[in-house]
């Protein structure tokens, strides 16, 4: 039977390790501080930000939320970011995506001080990732590596296939796997013979954003499958097809009105993989855990106690 890689357990381990570091910084008068910018009223973004603020509270990290209106201009956001960049007690500045269409997202993200870029997405920090230099790593890819290492999944010499080429997940996780001496292939929607390429993977990372796209035909028997996707299914017929008319899943759908499904077919992966991350409860919890790690490391750099 396939091993389930429990992201909640690993998240709890990481937070337990981070808490004494926060307490030490607070005792020195350098408590970590995180500022989150949430524009408008995107329900999904509001949930993400609420979870980030709760994680800060649980660990003793100071946090504040800035909520500009949906009609905010690029210039107004740049002024807000610049003011946060200047504040010494704020170690991390996080701009919750997506931003409204009238805002120049690239210009806004570029305005965040690289030293306060706890998302690890500033071009300077992505350059550090590519060149193997120390710096904040994008949270979801960093969480994936933590999961693999803590479950002792072999990486060295493994063939890894990443399906998805975004700056947020696909490209960074490919470089992190490469740094751990995996042989990495990045695939995307135009990759020829995608199932055949995926079946070569000892480690398969799915980050396409399409529900249950990767079926059993994409999975090498015994492979480790990391499912980054979080897709909300609102059609009962689609839920029935994906979960093969499972009474339990259909009852859950009827109760909630929707189901969360990853990019990998949930039944096929359990039947064919050697180990896999569930959705929900796999990669998702680790993203916020690594955000906390990046914020604490930024505070340690400010306090002069960071070794990295």
All domains of the chain in start order, with CATH: 29-116 (3.40.50.10860), 139-284 (3.40.50.720)
The C-alpha atoms of residue 180 and residue 187 are separated, in whole angstroms, by 19
pLDDT for the residue numbered 181: 98
Tens digits of per-residue pLDDT, 58-105?
Answer: 999 999 999 999 999 999 999 999 999 999 999 999 999 889 999 999
Question: Rounded to two decimals, what is the model's pTM?
Answer: 0.94
Please state, for a pLDDT cut of 70, what percent of the chain lies above it: 99
> pLDDT at residue 308 above 60?
no
The C-alpha atoms of residue 93 and residue 290 are separated, in whole angstroms, by 14
Write down the catalytic residue from 96, 117, 220, 263.
96
pLDDT band at 198 (very low <50, low <70, confident <90, very high): very high
The C-alpha atoms of residue 163 and residue 282 are separated, in whole angstroms, by 17
Taking residue 273's Cβ as centre, other Cβ atoms within 10 Å add up to 25
The C-alpha atoms of residue 264 and residue 276 are separated, in whole angstroms, by 10
pLDDT band at 304 (very low <50, low <70, confident <90, very high): confident
The C-alpha atoms of residue 249 and residue 252 are separated, in whole angstroms, by 5
Active-site residue flag, 96: yes
Write down the catalytic residue from 15, 52, 227, 272.
52
pLDDT for the residue numbered 2: 93
Would you say 283 and 230 are in contact if contact means Cβ atoms under 8 Å apart?
no
172: tokens are 């960074």
Residue 222: burial class (beta carbons within 10 Å; 0-12, 13-18, 19+):
exposed
- Mean pLDDT of the chain, nearest integer: 95
Which residues sit opposite 254 in a β-bridge? Answer: none
- Which residue matches tokens 């499958």? 225
Tens digits of per-residue pLDDT, 230-252?
Answer: 999 999 999 999 999 999 999 99
pLDDT for the residue numbered 87: 97
Average pLDDT over residues 263-287: 97
Average pLDDT over residues 202-225: 97
Active-site residue flag, 171: no
Write down the catalytic residue from 91, 115, 117, 119.
119
Would you say 110 and 123 are in contact if contact means Cβ atoms under 8 Å apart?
yes
Write the CB contacts of 190 (distance below 8 Å, at least 6 apart in sequence).
none
Q: 307 φ, ψ to 5°?
A: -85, -15
> pLDDT at residue 227 above 80?
yes
> What's the residue count for the chain?
308
Write the CB contacts of 29 (distance below 8 Å, at least 6 apart in sequence).
none
């Amino acid at each position: 039977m396939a091993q389930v890689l429990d992201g909640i357990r690993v998240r709890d381990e990481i937070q337990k390790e981070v808490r004494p570091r926060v307490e030490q910084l607070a005792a020195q008068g350098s408590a970590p501080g995180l500022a989150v910018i949430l524009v408008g009223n995107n329900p999904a973004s509001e949930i993400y930000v609420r979870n980030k603020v709760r994680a800060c509270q649980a660990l003793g990290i100071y946090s504040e939320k800035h909520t500009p209106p949906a009609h905010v201009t690029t210039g107004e956001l740049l002024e807000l970011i610049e003011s946060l960049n200047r504040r010494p007690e704020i170690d991390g500045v996080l701009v919750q995506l997506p931003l409204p269409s009238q805002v120049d997202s690239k210009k806004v993200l570029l305005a965040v001080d690289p030293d306060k870029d706890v998302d690890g997405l500033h071009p300077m920090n992505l350059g550090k990732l590519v060149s193997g230099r120390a710096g904040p790593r994008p949270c979801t890819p960093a969480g994936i590596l933590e999961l693999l290492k803590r479950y002792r999944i072999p990486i060295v010499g493994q063939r890894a296939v990443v399906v998805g080429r975004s700056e947020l997940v696909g490209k960074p996780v490919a470089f992190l796997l490469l740094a751990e001496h995996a042989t990495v292939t990045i695939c995307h929607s135009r990759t020829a013979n995608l199932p055949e390429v995926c079946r070569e993977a000892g480690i398969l990372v799915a980050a396409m954003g399409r529900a249950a796209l990767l079926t059993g035909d994409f999975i090498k028997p015994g492979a480790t499958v990391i499912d980054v996707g979080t897709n909300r299914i609102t059609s009962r017929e689609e839920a029935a097809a994906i979960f093969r008319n499972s009474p339990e899943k259909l009852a859950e759908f009827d109760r909630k009105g929707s189901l969360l499904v990853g990019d990998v077919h949930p039944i096929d992966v359990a039947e064919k993989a050697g180990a896999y991350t569930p959705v929900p409860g796999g990669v998702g919890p680790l993203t916020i855990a690594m955000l906390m790690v990046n914020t604490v490391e930024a505070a340690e750099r400010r306090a002069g106690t960071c070794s990295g």
